[in-house]
Amino acid sequence: MELLLLIDNIEEQTYNNCLEISEAEKENIKKKIDLGYITKFNIVNIGPDTDWPVLLLVIFLGFETIKIGKPLNDGFDGWIGIGKKLNRLFRRKKIVAIDKDGATALAINLISKKENIISLEKIQESIINLADLSGMIHGNKGLSKKPYNYYIQSYCINNSDVYVIGIKSTGEVKIIKHFVLNNHGIEEKR
């Protein structure tokens, strides 16, 4: 999973051409975000016209990523936990953007508030890129090239409910549609 974070001092460090993050700062960031094993720390610029330095983190989640069309009968508790932690970071205004795995965690967390999840299957996923910065800011990779996205993900829950979820890379999550499969076909739930 990739995250773009606002961290105090980064802007200061960037202006002073100190683009390295000390080991002590890395440990402090790990404690603050509490999301798992961070494999990369990079300061990147996502301001196309002016400098906007943020911290790009690559995080190893330690559990299975959810593949489209592959049912998951275990492990969604980990996704729910990540979703809750991401929500807390968004409320504290620390996260600038999340990638599709972050969007998945937020979506599953939202669904878990409506359903007792026994089984879950991601049935479809689309990414709408709202701004491609790769031509404007040289050298950015991953999420920092395309930080502004809208994710649309569909899930089949407990083999009976289908949720279509919209997730902004800035953390806003909402149910677009909720359908229930029954003996008479498909019914939209309101």
User: Above 70 in pLDDT, residue 83?
Assistant: yes
User: Which residues are paired to 153 by β-bridges?
Assistant: 125, 165
Residue in 75, 87, 149, 152 with CA at minimum distance from that of residue 113: 87
Half-sphere exposure (Cβ direction) of 10: Cα atoms closer than 13 Å: 22
Gap between the Cα atoms of 26 and 40, Å rounded: 10
38-59 mean pLDDT: 76
What is the band of 8 on the pLDDT scale with cuts at 50, 70, 90? low
pLDDT digits (tens, 9 = 90+) for 157-180: 999 999 999 999 999 999 999 999
71-76 mean pLDDT: 75
User: Above 70 in pLDDT, residue 136?
Assistant: no
Percentage of residues of the chain with pLDDT beyond 70: 85
- Extract the tokens encoding 164: 């279509």
Residue in 115, 119, 106, 124 with CA at minimum distance from that of residue 164: 124
Secondary structure tally for the chain: helices H, strands E: 4, 9
User: Which residues are paired to 178 by β-bridges?
Assistant: 163
pLDDT digits (tens, 9 = 90+) for 93-103: 888 899 999 99
With residue 87 as reference, give the H or E element that holds it: helix 76-91
Through-space distance between the first and last CA atoms of the chain, rounded to whole angstroms: 32
Listed by start position, the domains of the chain span 2-188
- How high does pLDDT run on average in the chain? 83
Question: Whole-model pTM?
Answer: 0.85
